[in-house]
Amino acid sequence: MRNMQSGCRVSLTRFKAGSGHNLPIVEKCLEDSNPLKQCIEHTLLHTINESFSFAVECNASEVAISAPRNQSGRPITFISRSLSKSHLHYPAVENKVTVIIGAVRKWHHFLAGAHFTVINRPKIGVVCV
């Protein structure tokens, strides 16, 4: 990505606005943007396929909690919220459990009766069954 940014920046600075030159699309910039396009295509939200299992990835930082619900490595839905003042003083393990419980409550209609995996990132010793 670094090469793509520097290559495009150099190419674009050669042509100033109003100089009478058309701004060409540099072939190198187009080639270098392909990995970025593929990355965006891979992470876009997709429709739900009931035949595949879900993964709920739980994340807790010092100030917020979040949980994307993934299927086949792609995000389907996402929840997040800031921690209240009282939750800021809770241990990290309790915030991690809070996000797990919140995610299962939020998506219980999708997860009930289906196989799903709870993923802890980073692992802090919370065991989920």
Does pLDDT of 97 surpass 80?
yes
Any idea where the domains of the chain sit in the sequence?
2-43, 54-120
pLDDT of residue 76: 83
Confidence category of residue 121, pLDDT binned at 50, 70, 90:
confident
Q: How far is CA 60 from CA 1, 14, 28, 50, in A?
A: 29, 46, 40, 28
Mean per-residue pLDDT, 54-83: 87
pLDDT of residue 105: 92
pLDDT of residue 88: 87
Which CATH code is given to the segment(s) 54-120?
3.10.20.370
Q: Can you read off the two tokens belonging to residue 73? A: 């490595």
**12-49 pLDDT per residue, tens:** 444 455 555 555 566 777 677 778 777 777 666 566 77
pTM (2 d.p.): 0.56
Confidence category of residue 8, pLDDT binned at 50, 70, 90:
very low
Mean per-residue pLDDT, 120-129: 56
Does pLDDT of 125 surpass 70?
no
pLDDT of residue 9: 45
**Long-range contacts, 60-64 (Cβ 8 Å, 24+):** 60/92, 60/95, 60/96, 60/98, 60/99, 62/88, 63/88
Q: Can you read off the two tokens belonging to residue 48? A: 């739900």
